[in-house]
């Protein structure tokens, strides 16, 4: 059982998934630091508040904290913008994968390959022989 578990963990899919999760957590920390440390500071400079969590109004004595929703929305938009820019930058550096060939393209390649091969069931002329 231990050998099977070791083989499962070592297989590419599980290992790649683990590496992806670890990298995602690390990347998430970078994005949060950028959002909170830089982008929200720009928002604070523009609007005079670093976050809007304190914004609220009373409705029949119950505080409605719309500032939390506003802060979460700004964070979402900023994180989305940062991720969009990172993906755009990566797409410029890394070429996109080649598109998969269609069935028609594959069949055409097979046809062309078969046409190029000499047929074994037909006698081939010998070069220099009389006909």
Task: Tell me if 45 is assigned to some domain.
Answer: yes
Q: What is the pTM of this model?
A: 0.48
Task: Tell me if 17 is assigned to some domain.
Answer: yes
Task: Tell me if 119 is assigned to some domain.
Answer: no
Q: Which domain holds residue 70?
A: 2-96
Q: Which of 68, 93, 69, 85 is nearest to 34 (CA)?
A: 85
pLDDT at 34: 79
94 confidence band (pLDDT: 50, 70, 90): confident
CATH code, 64: 1.10.1200
CA pair distance 59, 55, nearest whole angstrom? 13
The token pair at 76 is 């979402």
Task: Tell me if 116 is assigned to some domain.
Answer: no
**DSSP labels, 51-100:** --TT--EEETTEEE-HHHHHHHHHHHHHHHHHHHHHHHHHHHHSPPPPPP
State the average pLDDT over residues 26-55: 77
Number of compact structural domains in the chain: 1
Task: Tell me if 30 is assigned to some domain.
Answer: yes
């Amino acid at each position: 059982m231990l050998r099977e578990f070791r083989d499962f963990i070592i297989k590419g899919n599980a290992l790649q998934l683990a590496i992806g999760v670890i990298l995602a957590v690390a990347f998430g920390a970078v994005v949060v630091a950028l959002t909170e440390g830089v982008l929200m500071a720009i928002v604070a400079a523009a609007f005079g508040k670093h976050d809007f969590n304190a914004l609220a109004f009373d409705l029949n004595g119950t505080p409605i904290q719309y500032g939390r929703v506003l802060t979460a929305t700004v964070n979402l938009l900023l994180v989305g913008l940062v991720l969009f820019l990172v993906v755009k930058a990566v797409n410029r550096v890394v070429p996109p994968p080649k598109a998969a060939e269609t069935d028609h393209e594959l069949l055409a390649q097979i046809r062309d390959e078969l046409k190029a091969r000499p047929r074994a069931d037909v006698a081939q002329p010998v070069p220099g022989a009389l006909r």
